[in-house]
Amino acid sequence: MVFQMVLLKIADWILYQLLANSCYKAARKMRSYGLFFKNQSLKSSQQQPPSFPNVIKCGLENRGSDSLVCDIHGGLLRTESFFPYFMLVAFEGGSILRAFLLLLSCPILWVLDYELKLRAMIFITFCGLRLKDMENVSRAVLPKFYLENLHLKAFEVVASTGSRFAFTSVPRVMVEGFLKEYLQFDNVTGTELHTVGNYFTGLVSESGLVSKHRALTDCFGDKKPDIGLGSPSLHDHLFISLCKEAYVVSSDDGKSGTSSAMPRDKYPKPLVFHDGRLAFLPTPLATLSMFMWLPIGVFLALFRLFAGIYLPYKLALFLGVWSGVDLRVRGCSPSRSGHRKGILYVCTHRTLLDPVFLSTSLGQPLTAVTYSLSKMSEVIAPIKTVRLTRERNQDGNTMKRLLSEGDLVVCPEGTTCREPYLLRFSSLFAELASEIVPVAMNTRVSMFYGTTASGLKCLDPIFFLMNPRPSYHIQILEKLPRELTCDGGRSSCEVANYIQRKLADALGFECTTLTRKDKYMMLAGNEGIVQDKRKRSQSIGK
């Protein structure tokens, strides 16, 4: 009986907080919106002009010894909403079900006050989430979206200062890695989360949500920071008023003729690698559109996939373009000399479908070699695929044999790269063939990425083909002259580097010396090599 009474009291409190209290707040919001439509002049007269200047008025000279404080949301990013970043954690670190629950909570979150809203989002996003999954999202997913949403002028102010401190109410684990690694912040104070073992409970630690102005006072004491950046809202005015100079960061700076968007060439650190499936910033409306598209996307992906597997080249190409695939091909099949060996196509590596799209575009069967391929991808591949072992002599002999049987496709980067960079080319291919044709390949997606470093690789083609209009641009370059090959006296490294530069120029990309190992160490914390099960069991037995 006592237990039932306790449950009733808890239910009564929840109903009051989520229904009665929230409905009252919603009614007040609706009433304010009603007044907005009834009396526009009254609303404008009640608005007070901001008491702090815009960040564009902040000088950058002689700031090397100044200290700066800010919040990443409303202080460094062009949008104040933190919902998209919680959604990224829920989708990429959790599951599609967790992301759907977070989306369903939007109507309730809209009527809650700031603290209750943040606590609710933290609970939905982090309850039962593994610490390791959050670390992966923080390292490999969130930096891309933070960089793309950085406010240009705010970043310039931050870069000009000597010491930088961040204070935020969002969980520290979501922002600390980015702020310290990319923006060189000295200290990040954020809300701490409660954990049990290797899992988050979804609850805030005993210290509660961070109050920015109190945290600033505790950190600096009676000393005032030199510069404070915040949003135009009154919520941030108390925080930045504790600084010697205070500036507000607004996303409307573009109206004054200067863009607040951060260009790629001004990134504090080049963004070469990132992971995750979502290719868009998941705002509530964008996320809703994605979930509405999913049933259609799955059907389209299966249709495009089976058309490419079972139908002739021309019919598969026609149906693929008809279903929305944007395929653009420049160049033509190279001329063949009298050699009995096949032609070696050297491609940039964007997805697992690179050899398939090249084979379909040329209208002829090709053989592809790959370092890692799931059993499912190998079974459903419409062209012949052969695995390599990463043992140079053995792989060389395998590729020689395949070239004697026909044309071969190789991606010497060894792994995919999403950004406009080319990884270092392996030189093995240059030692095996004299008829080499470089092929510049690039892809564009709007909803899902068709590559992954830590997820299931067998789903990569499905995710790519689930996009409403996936794009493949293929440019077949001229065959390498004999004097630029190993048969013409060039070393294999010279040939590989020359082809890398040639393909980079064709695509407008930048060459790097980064490798597959660098990518997987950064994104997944391993070298990206899957050990054969039989060898693994033998090593365990020893």
Residue 33 above 60 pLDDT?
no
Once rounded to an integer, what is the mean pLDDT over residues 290-295? Answer: 97
**Whether residue 390 sits in one domain with residue 496:** yes
CATH label of the domain that carries residue 85:
3.40.50.1000
Does residue 342 lie in a domain region?
yes
Once rounded to an integer, what is the mean pLDDT over residues 226-249? Answer: 89
Once rounded to an integer, what is the mean pLDDT over residues 9-16? Answer: 46
Does residue 350 lie in a domain region?
yes
Q: Which residues contact 257 (CB under 8 A, 6 or more apart)?
A: none
**Whether residue 356 sits in one domain with residue 221:** no
Does residue 537 lie in a domain region?
no
**Whether residue 326 sits in one domain with residue 205:** no
Does residue 538 lie in a domain region?
no
Does residue 437 lie in a domain region?
yes
Residue 124 above 60 pLDDT?
yes
Share of the chain above pLDDT 90, in %: 61
Q: Which residues contact 45 (CB under 8 A, 6 or more apart)?
A: none
Once rounded to an integer, what is the mean pLDDT over residues 139-160? Answer: 95
**Whether residue 160 sits in one domain with residue 64:** yes
Domain end point (choices 252, 269, 292): 252
Once rounded to an integer, what is the mean pLDDT over residues 135-157? Answer: 95
Domain end point (choices 252, 276, 302): 252
Q: Which residues contact 274 (CB under 8 A, 6 or more apart)?
A: 140, 141, 143, 144, 418, 419, 523
Residue 25 above 50 pLDDT?
no
**Whether residue 505 sits in one domain with residue 449:** yes
Q: How many domains does the chain have?
A: 2
pLDDT digits over 505-540, tens only? 999 999 999 998 899 888 876 554 544 443 434 433
At position 151, the amino acid (one-letter code) is H
Does residue 379 lie in a domain region?
yes
pLDDT band at 150 (very low <50, low <70, confident <90, very high): very high
The structure's pTM equals 0.86
What span, in angstroms and rounded, lies between the C-alpha atoms of 308 and 230?
52
3-state secondary structure of 360: helix
Q: Which residues contact 184 (CB under 8 A, 6 or more apart)?
A: 164, 268
At position 375, the amino acid (one-letter code) is K
**Whether residue 243 sits in one domain with residue 298:** no
Once rounded to an integer, what is the mean pLDDT over residues 329-354? Answer: 86
**Whether residue 302 sits in one domain with residue 361:** yes
In this predicted structure, what is the pLDDT of residue 534? 39
**Whether residue 293 sits in one domain with residue 159:** no
Does residue 306 lie in a domain region?
yes
Does residue 21 lie in a domain region?
no
Three-state SS letters, 387-442: ECCCCHHHHHHHHHHHHHHCCEEECCCCCCCCCCEECCCCCHHHHCCCCEEEEEEE
Domain hosting 384: range is 284-528
Residue 38 above 50 pLDDT?
no
Domain end point (choices 205, 232, 252): 252
In this predicted structure, what is the pLDDT of residue 37? 32
Once rounded to an integer, what is the mean pLDDT over residues 155-175? Answer: 95
**Whether residue 303 sits in one domain with residue 198:** no
In this predicted structure, what is the pLDDT of residue 374? 66
Both tokens of residue 472? 């493949």
**Whether residue 296 sits in one domain with residue 164:** no
**Whether residue 356 sits in one domain with residue 209:** no
Residue 254 above 80 pLDDT?
no
**Whether residue 349 sits in one domain with residue 242:** no
